[in-house]
């Protein structure tokens, strides 16, 4: 449901000048190319000198009705909502309603180690509270309305992963609890708090807590692209993520939000400095974002098939944001190319020429694969001349041929190399490498 990735610098930056028109046009062409090849569709924006200077939309908000996205299309932003939640928490601290040392036991004593877990631990994912979205049962209730009682009962039944404060582990459960804590402190709904304390002061009219997606209100649905068409994805009920990921917005309004945050228009500079106290690269609702010699901050997110990015670089007074509602591409590459454009650097356009693999060879790769030490089995099958993979309890995803034996799923940085004679598949994802055996 709610995912995050880290931006990694790809090339050097030799210029801090703002991008010229030609650079922006090349970025627009790049995004058009992604859309034409069904790699990505969504909305993209960046700011220079704290002013939005680039906006691009591609694809559909409603594919069935051929309704194209525009600058006012609202998308689910997933875990970028955590930054909003952290800002609200810092406001409660400024108002002396709670402190970052306040214990979770004041609100939810039934949670394991609640008397040891602080608000600061929750903000920094250092609680040991198990991430409810890591469990397969999550997919049995995520599309159904939930209450505080039902979600807390789910969270409290899992055993703690580690002692509070001893290590970092990302957990949506932390921010679900923070959303409920905010409601208890203010005796108002999380949606009302977002409106009163963030969107109204900043005059953001397209940022709010989401509900069921309504395309007639210019709200985007999310999709996978399969068999030559856009397939709609299921909708998480927005009562489930609350403070962990229930906000909808646009890239331009997200830029206004993070620029306002940086410039002291939402919380004090001291509060923002506290948010930027990074441990294991994570602060309060923000992650540290490196780009060559520059250091930025922000968050990204994923919910259903929506993926989002929001990064700010104080040295550059520049920010990038985008939200996609369909992606078969590594969005980290988009972030890098947008930042290269902001800094006036050229980039190489990708080549989307696909390699055709004979159907009889694809058939040899089909089967169920298992690997020692890997928690899921992976089913490999072909469909309409394309190879696909499906891990236990998860949706199928397409594999793009790199060669006749090697395939990739760029979104998740997955590579698979098949040896039909041995019946093996070498799997890599980041630093993780496994050899799967066909059953």
Q: Tens digits of per-residue pLDDT, 211-263? A: 999 999 999 999 999 878 999 999 999 999 999 999 999 999 999 999 999 99
Which residues are CB-neighbours of 97 under 8 A, at least 6 positions away?
185, 186
Distance of CA 163 to the CA centre of its chain: 27
Query: Does residue 431 have a pLDDT over 90?
Result: no
Tell me the two tokens of residue 112: 């394991």
At 8 the pLDDT is 38
Query: Does residue 3 have a pLDDT over 80?
Result: no
Query: Does residue 115 have a pLDDT over 80?
Result: yes
| CA–CA separation, 232 and 141 (whole Å) | 19
| CA–CA separation, 396 and 377 (whole Å) | 12
Q: Once rounded to an integer, what is the mean pLDDT over residues 420-431?
A: 90
> For 187, phi and psi rounded to 5 degrees?
55, 40
Q: Tens digits of per-residue pLDDT, 199-209? A: 999 999 999 99
> Which pLDDT band, with edges at 50, 70 and 90, does 21 fall under?
low
At 43 the pLDDT is 98
**Domains of the chain by start residue, with CATH:** 1-353 (3.40.710.10), 359-438 (2.40.128.50)
At 18 the pLDDT is 38
Closest CA to 321 of 1, 3, 7: 7
Q: Tens digits of per-residue pLDDT, 290-311? A: 998 999 999 999 999 999 999 9
| CA–CA separation, 196 and 206 (whole Å) | 14
> Which pLDDT band, with edges at 50, 70 and 90, does 2 fall under?
very low
> Which pLDDT band, with edges at 50, 70 and 90, does 410 fall under?
confident
Q: Tens digits of per-residue pLDDT, 309-368? A: 999 999 999 999 999 999 988 888 999 999 999 999 999 888 777 788 899 999 999 999
Mean pLDDT (the chain) is 92
At 7 the pLDDT is 41
Beta bridge partners of 438: 369
At 350 the pLDDT is 84
């Amino acid at each position: 449901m709610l995912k995050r990735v880290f931006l990694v610098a790809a090339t050097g930056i030799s210029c801090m000048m703002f991008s010229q028109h030609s650079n922006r046009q090349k970025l627009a062409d790049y995004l058009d190319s992604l859309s034409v090849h069904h790699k990505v569709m969504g909305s993209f924006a960046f700011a220079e000198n704290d002013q939005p200077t680039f906006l691009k939309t591609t694809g559909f908000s409603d594919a069935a009705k051929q309704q194209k996205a525009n600058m006012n299309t609202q998308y689910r932003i997933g875990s970028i909502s955590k930054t909003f939640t952290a800002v609200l928490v810092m406001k409660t601290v400024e108002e002396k309603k709670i402190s970052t040392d306040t214990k979770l036991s004041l609100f939810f004593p039934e949670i394991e180690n609640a008397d040891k877990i602080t608000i600061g631990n929750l903000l920094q994912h250092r609680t040991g509270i198990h991430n409810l979205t890591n469990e397969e049962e999550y997919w049995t209730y995520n599309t159904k309305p939930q209450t505080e009682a039902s979600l807390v009962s789910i969270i409290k039944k899992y055993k703690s992963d580690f002692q509070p404060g001893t290590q970092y582990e990302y957990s949506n459960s932390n921010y679900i609890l923070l959303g409920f804590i905010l409601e208890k402190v203010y005796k108002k709904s999380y949606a009302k708090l977002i409106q009163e304390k963030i969107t109204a002061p900043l005059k953001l009219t397209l940022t709010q807590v989401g509900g069921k997606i309504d395309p007639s209100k210019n709200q985007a649905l999310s999709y996978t692209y399969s068999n030559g068409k856009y397939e709609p994805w299921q909708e998480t009920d927005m009562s489930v993520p609350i403070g962990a990921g229930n906000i909808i917005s646009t890239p331009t309004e997200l830029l206004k939000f993070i620029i306002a945050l940086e410039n002291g228009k939402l919380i004090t500079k001291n509060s923002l400095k506290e948010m930027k106290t990074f441990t294991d690269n994570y602060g309060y609702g923000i992650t540290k974002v490196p780009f060559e010699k520059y250091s930025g901050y922000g968050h990204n997110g994923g919910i259903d098939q929506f993926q989002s990015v929001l990064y700010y670089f104080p040295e550059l007074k520049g920010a990038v944001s985008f939200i996609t509602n369909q992606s078969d591409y590594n969005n980290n590459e988009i972030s890098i190319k947008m930042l290269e454009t902001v800094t006036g650097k050229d980039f190489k356009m990708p080549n989307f020429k696909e390699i055709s693999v004979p159907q009889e060879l694809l058939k040899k790769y089909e089967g169920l694969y298992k690997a020692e030490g890997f928690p899921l089995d992976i089913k490999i099958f072909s469909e309409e001349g394309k190879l696909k993979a499906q891990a236990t309890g998860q949706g199928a995803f397409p594999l793009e041929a790199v060669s006749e034996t090697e395939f990739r799923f760029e979104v998740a940085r997955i590579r698979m190399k098949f040896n039909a004679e041995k019946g093996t598949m070498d799997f890599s994802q980041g630093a993780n490498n496994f050899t799967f055996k066909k059953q």
